[in-house]
Chain A
Amino acid sequence: MSIIQFDKKQEMLRRTVREFVEKEIVPIATEIDEQDTFPEELFQKMGQMGYNGIFVPREYGGAGMGYTERAILLEEISRHSAGLAMAVMTHHLGVAAILDFGTEEQKKKYLPDLCAGKKIGGLAVTEPSGGSDLMGHQSTGEKIGEDWVLNGRKCFITNSHVADVSVVTVRTGEDAKGRPALSGFIIEKGNEGFAPGHKENKFGLRGSIMGDLNINDCHVSGEALLGQEGKAAKIALSTIGGVGRPGMAAISVGILRACLEESVKFAKERVIYGKPLAKVPAIQSIIAKNRIDYEAGMLLTYQAIGIKDTGERSDTQSAIAKHYTTEAAVLAAKRTIDLMGGYGCVNEYPAGRYLRDAMTTIPSGGTTQIMELVIAGASLA
Chain B
Amino acid sequence: MKERRILVCIKPVPDPEHYDKIGIDPASKTLVRSGIPAVINPNDKNAIEAALEIREYWGGIVELVSMAPPDAEEKLREGLAMGADKAYLLSDRSFAGSDTLATARVLAAGIAKIGSFDLVITGSESADGGTTNVSPQLGEMLGLPHVCNVESITPQNEEQWQLNVKIEEGYLKVEGPTPMVVGVNDKINTPRYTTVMGIMEAEDKEVVIWSAADLEIDNDKVGLTGSPTQPGDLHEPKLQRAGKLLEGEPEVVVDKLIRLLRQAGVLNA
Contact = CB atoms under 8 A, between A and B. Distances in A.
Contact between chain A and chain B defined by CB under 8 Å: yes
Instruction: Identify whether the interface residues of B are mostly helix, strand, loop, or mixed.
Output: helix
A69 B193 contact: no
A49 B78 CA distance: 15
B13 interface: no
Contacts of A31: none
A111 interface: no
Contact of A19 (B74, B77, B193, B200): B193
B193 A12 contact: no
A178 B105 CA distance: 82
B247 to A, nearest CB: 14
B267 interface: no
Given A8-B74, A8-B77, A16 B200 contact: no
B77 A49 contact: no
Nearest to A19: B193
Contact of B199 (A13, A20, A48, A58): A13
A163 interface: no
Interface residues of A, number: 18
A354 B264 CA distance: 47
A9 interface: yes
Contacts of B74: 8, 12
Interface in B31-61: none
A44 to B, nearest CB: 13
Contact of B193 (A20, A58, A63, A64): A20
B154 to A, nearest CB: 27
A50 interface: yes
A56 to B, nearest CB: 10
Contacts of B200: 9, 58, 63-65
B197 interface: yes
Given A8-B74, A9-B203, A16 B197 contact: no
B81 interface: yes
A10 to B, nearest CB: 9
A49 B193 contact: yes
B3 to A, nearest CB: 26
Instruction: Give 10 nearest A-B pairs by CB, closest first.
Output: A50-B196, A63-B196, A16-B194, A50-B195, A50-B197, A49-B195, A63-B197, A20-B193, A64-B200, A12-B199
